[in-house]
Amino acid sequence: MARPTPPNATACPCGSALPYADCCGRWHDGPLHLQAPTAEALMRSRYSASVLGRLDYLLATWHPSTRPPQLDPLPGGLQWLGLEVRRHAMQDDAHATVEFVARNRLAGRATRLHETSRFVREGGRWFYVDGDLR
């Protein structure tokens, strides 16, 4: 399945109202040294990667200690409806949590993913570790 790619002028899927290229697109397609600067920015970029089917990005930003060997392709017809970031908290310089709600629809049924995610920064780079579903 071809992954949808928003035109550069289209608002980013993460809901920031910035153009995709100026928001999550720079993390998805940028050089390896260009990384999301905060756990919240990483979480938003991971949501956008889900919307766009960028499984490679999801795996690359998942901490090796909890990363699955592969991700199954997203179901055909899955429609992401929006992201709400409810809270972002730093525990220290290298640990943060982000609480969010991501809404989607599949086969006419709407669902929401409400999670408090844990992130760690290693070598100056943020990684998703895991999360608690609410």
Confirm if 19 and 8 have CB atoms less than 8 A apart.
yes
Say how many domains are in the chain: 1
* 4-27 pLDDT tens trace: 555 556 899 999 989 999 999 999
- 14 belongs to a structural domain: no
- 10 belongs to a structural domain: no
- 2 belongs to a structural domain: no
Distances (CA, A) of 56 to 65, 72, 91, 92, 93: 17, 11, 28, 28, 27
- 84 belongs to a structural domain: yes
> What's residue 29's pLDDT?
85
> What's residue 1's pLDDT?
44
- 124 belongs to a structural domain: yes
- 104 belongs to a structural domain: yes
* 75-122 pLDDT tens trace: 989 999 999 999 999 999 999 999 999 999 999 999 999 999 999 999
> What's residue 41's pLDDT?
96
Range of the domain at 29: 20-133
The model's pTM: 0.90
CATH of the domain at 105: 3.10.450.50
**Which of these ranges, 5-9, 43-47, 127-131, has the smallest mean pLDDT?**
5-9
